[in-house]
């Protein structure tokens, strides 16, 4: 705790504080209301030029979908903007924050009985013949009705070969 008569502000701050409070004198003038005092104490902050160049996150996102690495995209970004560019950790963090705000849902409306989605699911699974003990690879066939999401799945004996 400071001793009586001792200031809690370091001496180095005094010139900046006195410059900031220069328009004020004690006692305050009678015609100075709260709004006027607020204008004197809280001056508007001047807008300043951003010190870093923002990357084109939409382009980065599209390039990542094509298989380009984030590191390569950052290197291209740094070549383009030079010293005004973010370092790699900040670049990656800012991109991930931007990507997290994207809407991930793609809503599709299906009328009942209109569409059936069918495909083979994933790799084959081993099926053991109970009579012989022989192991056969089987594919899982899945069909889903679009409107109701009713699902059908089975493992046919042989997977048809794609044509064309």
C-alpha 93: how far from chain center: 8
pLDDT at 5: 55
Residue 68 in this model has a pLDDT that exceeds 90: yes
In this structure, is residue 3 part of a structural domain? no
Lowest mean pLDDT among 21-25, 28-32, 142-146: 21-25
Strand ranges for the chain from DSSP E: 116-128, 135-145, 151-154
Same domain, 79 and 117: no
Q: Per-residue pLDDT for 4 more than 70?
A: no
Residue 49 domain-assigned (yes or no): no
In a domain, 73, yes or no: yes
Same domain, 112 and 164: yes
- Looking at the structure, do residues 87 and 116 belong to the same domain, yes or no? no
Q: Is residue 19 part of a domain?
A: yes
* Mean pLDDT over each residue of the chain, to the nearest integer: 81
For the chain, what is the domain count? 3
- Greater pLDDT, 47 or 3: 47
In a domain, 1, yes or no: no
Q: Structural domain of residue 23, as residue ranges?
A: 12-41
Query: What is the C-alpha end-to-end distance of the chain, expressed in Å?
Result: 86
Q: What is the pLDDT of residues 44-60, one digit of tens each?
A: 777 777 789 999 999 99
Kindly state whether residue 66 falls inside one of the protein's structural domains.
yes
Question: Does residue 115 sit in the same domain as residue 148?
Answer: yes
For residue 52, tell me if it sits in a domain: no
């Amino acid at each position: 705790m400071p001793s009586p008569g001792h200031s809690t502000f370091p001496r180095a701050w005094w010139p900046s504080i006195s410059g900031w409070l220069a328009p004020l004198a004690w006692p305050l003038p009678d015609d100075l209301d709260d709004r006027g005092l607020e204008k004197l104490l809280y001056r508007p902050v001047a807008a300043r030029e951003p010190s870093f160049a923002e990357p084109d996150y939409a382009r980065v996102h599209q390039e990542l979908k094509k298989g380009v690495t984030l590191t390569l995209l950052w290197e291209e970004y740094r070549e383009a903007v030079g010293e005004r560019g973010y370092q790699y950790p900040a670049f990656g963090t800012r991109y991930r924050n931007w990507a997290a705000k994207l809407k991930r849902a793609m809503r599709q409306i299906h009328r009942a009985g209109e569409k059936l989605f069918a495909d083979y699911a994933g790799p084959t699974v081993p099926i053991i013949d109970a009579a012989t003990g022989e192991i056969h690879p089987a594919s899982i066939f899945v069909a889903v009705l679009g409107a109701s999401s009713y699902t059908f799945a089975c493992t046919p004996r042989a997977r048809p070969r794609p044509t064309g």
